Amino acid sequence: MQGSPTVSKALFSIVFLLTILTVWAVVVYSNSPEDTTPIALQPTVTPSDNGEEQVNVDLNATPTVSPTPTTEVTEIPNATATPATRRITITANEYSFAPNAITASAGDTLIFTIVNNGTEIHSFAIDELGVQTTTINPEETVQVQVEIPTQPNAQYEFYSSIGTNRSQGMVGQITIQIL
């Protein structure tokens, strides 16, 4: 059983074209061994008189250089979180902070805005981090920036150091996420 003449001619054309391209590539790359930039030939397809398509490659034409593909490097996150700057508003009332539980990561910068919505003076302190505000009068707002160490304790307690505020429950916790 024989194949059709059209299929045979097409296969011959493909094999012939691949042979020419291979020889051309060997010649080009052997003349410039340092340059390994891929070169793209621009074949032309033209219909012949008998209705079949003919593939032509002009080996004398100036080849176009295909750009070398680049690979974008994507950084894979490791097990530790990237330090972040977070803004947290804490409302102080008589004998309480809201929120009184905060979570942070090692290396984070926390910018606290403490708003005294109470009728008495309060303060904001974190002993282990050396944080101590002056008194915060009723309806007054104070900002405090806190740097969480890169080798932190697991928790830090914040509290109001005015009078008996701390013993009456005006305390909160910053819990550090250990990843």
Residue 167 lies in a domain: yes
Predicted local distance difference test score (pLDDT) of residue 2: 59
Which range has the top average pLDDT, 3-12, 146-155, 169-178?
A: 169-178
Among the candidates 37, 65, 93, a domain finishes at 65
Rounded to whole angstroms, the Cα distance separating 137 from 76 reads 47
Clarify whether residues 58 and 121 are in a common domain: no
Clarify whether residues 169 and 92 are in a common domain: yes
Rounded to whole angstroms, the Cα distance separating 172 from 175 reads 10
Rounded to whole angstroms, the Cα distance separating 56 from 43 reads 6
Residue 35 lies in a domain: yes
Task: Say what the pTM is.
Answer: 0.54
Clarify whether residues 49 and 92 are in a common domain: no
Q: What is the 3-state secondary structure (H, E, C) of 48-65?
A: CCCCCEEEECCCCCCCEE
pLDDT, one tens digit per residue, over 69-111 is: 444 444 444 445 578 899 999 999 999 999 999 999 999 999 9
The two beta strands, 96-98 and 101-105, are: unpaired
Residue 72 lies in a domain: no
Reported as a pLDDT band with limits 50, 70 and 90, residue 154 is confident
Number of domains in the chain: 2
Residue 41 lies in a domain: yes
pLDDT, one tens digit per residue, over 32-81 is: 555 555 555 566 666 666 666 666 666 566 555 545 444 444 444 444 55
Reported as a pLDDT band with limits 50, 70 and 90, residue 15 is confident
Reported as a pLDDT band with limits 50, 70 and 90, residue 124 is very high
Predicted local distance difference test score (pLDDT) of residue 91: 95
Please tell me what DSSP assigns to residue 83: P
Reported as a pLDDT band with limits 50, 70 and 90, residue 3 is low
Calculate the average pLDDT of the chain. Answer: 78
Cα dihedral value 6, 9, 14, 19, nearest 10? 180
| Phi and psi at residue 21, to the nearest 5° | -65, -40
DSSP 136-169: B-TT-EEEEEEEPPSS--SEEEEE--STTTTTTT
Predicted local distance difference test score (pLDDT) of residue 177: 84
Percent of the chain topping pLDDT 70: 64
| Contact criterion met (CB below 8 Å) for 64 and 71 | no
The CATH number given to whatever domain includes residue 116 is 2.60.40.420
User: Which structural domain, as residue segments, surrounds residue 161?
Assistant: 85-177
Q: Report residue 179 CA to chain centroid gap.
A: 18
Where in 33-135 does DSSP place strands (E)? 39-40, 44-47, 53-56, 64-65, 85-93, 96-98, 101-105, 109-116, 125-126, 131-132
Clarify whether residues 105 and 168 are in a common domain: yes
pLDDT at position 132 over 80: yes
Kind and range of the H or E element at 106? none
Query: For residue 117, what are its two tokens?
Result: 């919505």
